[in-house]
Amino acid sequence: MDCNKPLDGEITFSQLAMLLEQHLSATPRHSKDEKLINVKRCPICRKVIKKEKRDLDVVTHIALCAYSEPGNGGHVGRGVEGFLLGGFLTEAYAQRKWYSKVLSYVGYGGYNLGKNNANILVQDRATGQLVEEKMPSYIRLGIRLLYQSAGSRTAVESKMIKNLLKNLSVKQGRKFDDPYSAKAIPHFIKFHKLDVDEILEPLESYENFNEFFYRKLKPTARTLVSPDPKVAVSPADCRMSCFKTIDSAKSLWIKGQNFTVSKLLGNDDLAKYYEGGALGIFRLAPQDYHRFHMPVDGVVGPTTFIHGTYYTVNPMAIRTPVDVYTENIRAVTTIDSPIFGKVAYVAIGAMMVGSIILTSKEGQEVKRLDEHGYFAFGGS
């Protein structure tokens, strides 16, 4: 399908969206007269959108507004679907049904092997089945716009984008620390079908959404897979990827152009210890239990906090030239294990969820499954 050749007959909205994306990629800078998306006013916050705004700027504004402006018509947890399904407010918007369907396609496009999709498929270890991970709309749209648009590497690494992601994370932390945010807890539980029976505290005891987000579980909710201390365990509820060597991880998974262990750890001397070593990546999704634990027995060593940015750690971002792991905010802790040696434990913050709180202490003797810390909404 060629966006420069006229088509006879009707086309589907999927084809239309594909043509629009091809055109945007082929012409990253339009003239002021050329507009594919003609939205004069945001359907959520109702702010006038300036004529000189590019198409991608318009979609970015609406995507962020839909998620982060509950006071202006959006609702915590509703995301873009809140206005797509709620209808438009004026006759002019009602006539643009194609726009809502195109944006819906961009936000919820189907998965195709070998193509750049924002969808994530994970394999359930218990059943072996592939399941699609539910994802907030702001992440899905942010991935497509920031990481897949023409010239995205320059755009996403600009100071403006980094400041935007940090400010959004800090702002979201404040909102979810507000007692009003507790109203989002029932919706979150229903949407993600969470097992409330394994939660330690009564639901009514959480004073805000952030407290629920880093909730504790009952001691019986997670058990060791083996009593053998030679078996390292997953440190969290997560999507896990393990590699025998760091080099294999770089060739198969991590695509950052400047990724090195030295940059990841922020320490050249410490990095030398892990040359040829194995690597495990444990990614937490929004609905996961957000406390993380010790994978091995040992003694907690020193921790180094590294200031950084707040890129999403979604796989679509990891598999781009942007160096997410070595640029995001993170905490590097070493664990002196009698069996595994010196283990480097790197807790990496992300977009919106950028607060890393450690509950273990240096010099503390720990066993597998002992708590190390938790993630929270915010940017501290």
Annotated catalytic residue, options 226, 248, 251, 380: 380
C-alpha 305, offset from chain centre = 21
Angle at 128 between CA 370 and CA 190, to 5 degrees: 65
User: Which of helix, strand or coil describes residue 303?
Assistant: strand
Active site residue 290: no
Query: Which of 293, 355, 360, 372 is the catalytic position?
Result: 293
d(CA 196, CA 218): 10
Radius of gyration for the alpha carbons in the chain, expressed in angstroms and rounded = 22
Within 13 Å, how many C-alpha atoms sit on residue 338's CB side? 7
Element spanning 213, H or E: helix 209-213
Q: Is the sign of the CA dihedral 238, 113, 12, 31 positive or negative?
A: positive
Task: Please check whether residue 293 is in contact with residue 236, taking contact to mean a CB–CB distance below 8 angstroms.
Answer: yes
> Beta strands of 138-278 (E only): which ranges?
239-243
Buried b (16+ CB within 10 A) or exposed e, 307-335: ebbbbbbbbbbbbbebbbbbbbbbbbbbb
Residue 256 to residues 141, 253, 378, Cα–Cα distance (Å): 21, 9, 25
Asked if residue 25 lies in contact with residue 150, where contact means CB atoms within 8 angstroms, the answer is yes
Please count the residues of the chain: 380
- 237 an active-site residue? yes
Q: 52: burial class by Cβ within 10 Å (0-12, 13-18, 19+)?
A: exposed
b/e 210-241 (16+ beta carbons within 10 angstroms → b): bbbbbbeeeeeebeeeeeebeebbbbbbbbeb
Q: Is-catalytic flag, 104?
A: no
Which member of 237, 297, 355, 360 is catalytic?
237
Structural contact between residues 348 and 330, judged by C-beta atoms closer than 8 angstroms = yes
One-letter amino acid identity for 21? E
Identity of the residue numbered 296? V
Q: Which residues participate in catalysis according to the annotation?
A: 237, 293, 380
